[in-house]
Amino acid sequence: MKRRSLLLSTVPLALAPAAAFASADLGKAAPAFTATDSNGKSWSLADLKGKVVVLETTNHDCPYVGKHYRSANMQTQQREAAARGVVWLTVASSAPGEQGFVTASQANELVAANKAAPAAVLLDPQSKIARAYGATVTPHMYVIDKNGMLVYKGGIDSIPSANVDDIPKATQYVRVALDKVLAGQQVAEASTRPYGCSLKYGRNST
């Protein structure tokens, strides 16, 4: 266990540069997207109008993503969100041949193994969704209100580490944002600095 902690502590931390936040503007319409999920179903943001939506970029080989799945923090928040009528979409944007790339069957295997509970895993091998939102790391989180407006973007929480023990100490930004949005209130910390592994963009993702 000590060896694993040591290894995790040496993993490079990627913090999103401030300029990345310009790609999707808070308080404006969230970038439109259409994608197919790991079960072959098509999803469109336009079809989700009237629902609060969470986007979670993922890379199963990233220790910062792993932190939130090993601890069940991500799955717990997915289930909490679903119980409140929120549509939580996990977005797999790693390009083929890059770390974190998954096929549909591999995505489903990971959901089952992690006992995860997103509404769907969207397959984004050309990184089109990630590019549209300016995602730079995994996990990079976004909250979209029922009117299709982007109301939160940034980290899942306030402590940029791969250490599971930090989760209870951290402010859970996404959970707080959802509380505010579902109460019809403005999100106070609407833009935070995301942390994690750099997102593995595809070459044809523009």
- Residue spans of the domains in the chain: they are 2-198
Instruction: Output the pLDDT for position 6.
Output: 36
pLDDT digits (tens, 9 = 90+) for 73-124: 999 999 999 999 999 999 999 999 999 999 999 999 999 999 999 999 999 9
The H or E element containing residue 14 is strand 14-15
Lowest mean pLDDT among 59-63, 152-156, 200-204: 200-204
Query: Which 8-state DSSP code applies to residue 56?
Result: E
Q: Report d(CA 192, CA 197) in Å as an integer.
A: 16
pLDDT digits (tens, 9 = 90+) for 151-174: 999 999 999 999 999 999 999 999
pTM of whole model > 0.95? no
Q: What CATH architecture is 2-198?
A: 3-Layer(aba) Sandwich (3.40)
Lowest mean pLDDT among 7-11, 156-160, 200-204: 7-11
Question: What phi and psi values does residue 40 have, to the nearest 5 degrees?
Answer: 85, 5
pLDDT at 48 over 60: yes
pLDDT at 204 over 80: no
pLDDT at 63 over 50: yes
Instruction: Output the pLDDT for position 13.
Output: 59
Task: Return mean pLDDT, the chain.
Answer: 90
137-138 vs 141-144, strand pairing mode? unpaired
Instruction: Output the pLDDT for position 24.
Output: 84
Torsional class of 11: left (φ above 0), alpha (ψ -120 to 50), beta (otherwise)? beta
Interval 130-146 mean pLDDT: 97
Q: How many residues does the chain have?
A: 206
Distances (CA, A) of 46 to 41, 50, 83, 148, 184: 15, 9, 22, 8, 21
Burial class (CB in 10 A: 0-12, 13-18, 19+), 54: buried
Please enumerate, as own/partner, the contacts of 42-51 that have beta carbons within 8 Å and a separation of 24 or more: 43/89, 43/120, 43/122, 45/144, 45/148, 46/148, 48/87, 48/144, 49/146, 49/147, 49/148, 50/146, 51/85, 51/86, 51/87, 51/146
